[in-house]
Structure 1
Amino acid sequence: MSKPQTLLALNWKMNKTPSQAVAWARELLPSLPASSAVLAIMAPAIDLQGLSQTLQGSAVTIGAQDVSAHESGAYTGEISAAMLLDVGAKYAVVGHSERREYHAESSQVVAGKARAAKQAGLIPIICVGEGLEVRERGEHVAYTLDMLRESLAGLTIASADQIVIAYEPVWAIGTGKTATAADAEELAAAIRSALSGLLGEVGAGVQVLYGGSVKGSNIAEICGQPNVNGALVGGAALEVRSVLEMVNALV
């Protein structure tokens, strides 16, 4: 099977007002080169409608940073997959390390969100990864694969393009520390092997991303690894200049 298409998922986190998001997109589009990589913006939910309208007709897609496990009902503050689809979202990030840490989201909660996203027609980007203590104990592979299996519980997929997995070593997020390309490949290969075991032939084609201090200077080497199919980018996603550097590095 050929290597899946490269996905560059830009996670803005809690940054950019709706007007700032639209201005950012208007600045990006005229300078965006033709590329075989898919560019997707994971924006705050309040930004999505404006982004969808501004990016209409372009190759850039959008997604949410979270999604409710519930379809609808008395869940104050929650945003359903149907709501996200209605404003043009294609993806939804679930289980980001910051959600797991700051909101105490277990892998069981993440699995429920992934199922809700997929059932509604969104593509869940399911995040897994270890902290520094786990890595230093040499348990990072087993730990991450256990998290992966728990986060996929009850999720059935018919084709590889229905889910994305993002490996994010927690110790390399926002710290300036970056896992080496070899580190990224080690876990990406382990994740792909686990996906093949869980999903059969479909698992071999699932996009596996790396996330953790990715930038223009290292993205080509990281994404050039056999089992790495793109990146989930945080800090470097906020400036148009740095996004263009990354896109150009992948052309």
Structure 2
Amino acid sequence: MRQPVVMGNWKLNGSKAMVTDLLTALNAELEGVTGVDVAVAPPALYVDLAERTLTDAGSAIILGAQNTDVNNSGAFTGDMSPEMLKDFGATHIIIGHSERRQYHNESDEFIAQKFAFLKENGLTPVFCIGESEAQNEAGETEAVCARQIDAVINNSGVEALNGAIIAYEPIWAIGTGKAATADDAQRIHASIRAHIAAKSEEVAKNVVIQYGGSVKPENAEAYFAQPDIDGALVGGAALDAKSFAAIAKAAAKAKA
């Protein structure tokens, strides 16, 4: 039985006060909640403070990060390695986010390298895939998602998806207030799972596939009621403890 994962991607937001206040409030909101894994991915500068805050609170919240390099050391100014992220207790690392693909020209092949290197270092890739608005309107959604997944499978084999998380995020729904309907999201999630199943039914059955893109407390329940949607990668709503906790609670309730 797959356990849903609800992860907050804080993106380029935060301050010392915000990190401690948000995590303290979130930990309180989630007290007694079971049946869902909850994770946060603060900006790199605040991973240390987030780790200390969560440890001091005895929190079960999982610490993540928003990116990684494909080297553990060397002359790579400005980058951070999986080894460094592990040193600060981060386990769930977002890769392939559309903003990295767009603003940093990260290719499918480079993201597949990141995926492989995270696995090599014992970390959990949170592997983002998804189509643009133009691709969606052209009916190319399933082909785009398949291509992005195949970059990882071709590089590492389908078994590499074991223990990883796939986050389907239609680019046109990220931070726009637009969101795929629960039925549309389910259709794409089922298609992703079927694509993986063509190579390994066992891997497909067990892999966690999140939905991302303007997920809010108001629409979360409808997503999580779908059989192939295993939680969410949450942006804006993750910056508010009550909203983010409500999404996590909806996931726990739906999969109970």
TM-score, structure 1 as length reference? 0.94
Residue aligning to 1:28? 26
Paired with 1:201 and 1:100, the residues of 2 have a C-alpha distance of 30
Unaligned runs of 5+ in 1: none
Sort the Cα spacing of 1:87 and 1:8 in 2 relative to 1 into closer, same or farther, 3 A.
same
Sequence identity (%): 38
- 1:103 Cα offset (Å): 0.6
Report if the CA contact (8 A) 1:222-1:228 is conserved: yes
Report if the CA contact (8 A) 2:67-2:93 is conserved: yes
Residue aligning to 2:141? 140
1:148-163 aligned within 5 A: 148-156=149-157, 161-163=162-164
Residue aligning to 2:69? 68
Residue aligning to 2:8? 10
Residue aligning to 1:124? 125
Relative to structure 2, which stretch is displaced further, 110-119 or 50-59? 50-59
Paired with 1:119 and 1:156, the residues of 2 have a C-alpha distance of 13
- 1:156 Cα offset (Å): 4.3
Residue aligning to 1:247? 248
Paired with 2:5 and 2:82, the residues of 1 have a C-alpha distance of 21
TM-score, structure 2 as length reference? 0.92
- 1:152 Cα offset (Å): 3.8
Paired with 2:201 and 2:72, the residues of 1 have a C-alpha distance of 29
Report if the CA contact (8 A) 2:159-2:203 is conserved: yes
Tell me, what secondary structure is at the counterpart of 1:10? strand
Cα deviation code 1:173-222 (max 9, x no counterpart)? 11110000111111111111122233441232000000000010111110
Residue aligning to 1:222? 223
Q: Given residue 73 of structure 1, which amino acid in structure 2 is its aligned partner?
A: G
Q: Given residue 241 of structure 2, which amino acid in structure 1 is its aligned partner?
A: V
- 1:170 Cα offset (Å): 0.4
Report if the CA contact (8 A) 2:182-2:222 is conserved: yes
Cα deviation code 1:114-169 (max 9, x no counterpart)? 11111101100111100111111111111211121114432247586521101000
Paired with 1:230 and 1:17, the residues of 2 have a C-alpha distance of 27
Equivalent residues, number: 249
Report if the CA contact (8 A) 2:125-2:164 is conserved: yes
Report if the CA contact (8 A) 1:5-1:36 is conserved: yes
Q: Does 1:48 align with 2:47?
A: yes
Paired with 1:73 and 1:94, the residues of 2 have a C-alpha distance of 21
Q: Does 1:96 align with 2:97?
A: yes
- 1:71 Cα offset (Å): 2.2
RMSD: 1.6
Paired with 1:238 and 1:109, the residues of 2 have a C-alpha distance of 29
Tell me, what secondary structure is at the counterpart of 1:174? coil
Paired with 1:161 and 1:151, the residues of 2 have a C-alpha distance of 12
Q: Where has structure 1 moved over 4 Å in runs of 4 or more?
A: 156-161
Report if the CA contact (8 A) 1:24-1:240 is conserved: yes
Residue aligning to 1:198? 199
Sort the Cα spacing of 1:17 and 1:199 in 2 relative to 1 into closer, same or farther, 3 A.
farther
Report if the CA contact (8 A) 1:96-1:127 is conserved: yes
